[in-house]
Amino acid sequence: MFHTIKYKISALYADLIFNIKRWRHIKNLPALQKRDRIIVDTLNRDGVYVTTLADLGLDFSFELFKAADKQLSRMPNPNNEHLDEKWPHIVTVTGLPEFYKWATQKRLLNIIENYIGVPITFQGVHLRQDFPSDHQFGTLLWHSDAEDRRLIKIFVCLHDVDERTGPFEYIPRSLISLFSWQYYWLYYKLFQSSYMGIDDEIVKKAIPKSLWKSCPGPAGTVIFVDTKNTLHHGTVRAKARSTLFFCYTANPPERPDLCKQFWDDTYPRAELIVSEPDKALV
């Protein structure tokens, strides 16, 4: 009990220091265009902002999409048809220039720094394939991420996403504010699950399904989300889905140990994978 109380006090103190740093950094935040201020304001209100590569208008988007398509074609067949729970297939593509150049553009970094509120860092990017499932497990359960106190992940959909493909789904933060009973009840349920996630039936007891927000869209849909402070999940799907996951945190983040997966050998790194056609050229 003593160690638990000590940990809670330490965590509260660290949160206070972080918020003081955000307050002090306000005067140093980069200026934003009006269209980019809308992104930050929406994230502050709801935790999620949805757009498309075309509407976002960042440089290198064509190169990004072309490189993602190439890497998808090189991913091996998972041979998981016999499995009841088909876990995602993830490749780290942080080391490839097409992904890094898109992710580190000044305009994009300025948007994210204005949201997080302190100097930031780009942790990396995963190329991820999610497979059909008839029940909730893993990231199909409602959860929040833990890399940092405030963070941004950007999901770029590489194929059209509809109900059969299992769109990203979330609860707007405005519905579960810090002063609502729903906030404490839902996060207590997450605590009871050891933060592994809770299912739809539990969430329905606090927030009716009619208020959940789903994010279907065409290939090239872009989703900005604070995955720490926004309760979210992937939905059960009948078809596979391929997505890029970009991750940005404060510099340094609260949990650097959880950020290493975006650049270390936790998952196969694309620059080290040689496909069969490539081997013939070596």
Structure tokens at 261: 């997966």
Domain assignment of residue 5, yes or no: no
Decide: 127 and 244 in contact? Cβ < 8 Å.
yes
Domain assignment of residue 7, yes or no: no
Domain assignment of residue 124, yes or no: yes
Residue type, 13: Y
Domain assignment of residue 11, yes or no: no
Q: How does pLDDT run across 190-232, given as a tens digit for each residue?
A: 999 999 999 999 999 999 999 999 999 999 999 999 999 999 9
Domain assignment of residue 259, yes or no: yes
Domain assignment of residue 164, yes or no: yes
Chain centroid to Cα 189, Å, comes to: 21
Domain assignment of residue 215, yes or no: yes
Domain assignment of residue 66, yes or no: yes
**Residue 253 three-state SS:** coil
Chain centroid to Cα 146, Å, comes to: 11
Q: How does pLDDT run across 132-166, given as a tens digit for each residue?
A: 999 999 999 999 999 999 999 999 999 999 999 99
The tally of domains found in the chain comes to 1
- CATH number for the domain that contains residue 216: 2.60.120.620
Report CA torsion sign: 113, 114, 115, 117.
positive
pTM over 0.75? The answer is: yes
Q: Tell me what pLDDT residue 7 has.
A: 59
Find the length of the chain. Answer: 282
Place of tokens 């992904």: 99
Q: Tell me what pLDDT residue 41 has.
A: 98
> What residues in the chain have per-residue pLDDT under 50?
275-282
Q: Tell me what pLDDT residue 274 has.
A: 57
Pairing, β 120-130 against β 241-250: antiparallel
Query: If you count DSSP H runs as helices and E runs as strands, how many of each does the chain have, helices first?
Result: 10, 9
Q: What's the burial of 159, exposed, middle or buried (CB within 10 Å: 0-12/13-18/19+)?
A: middle
Q: Tell me what pLDDT residue 94 has.
A: 98
Question: What's the domain range around 248?
Answer: 31-279
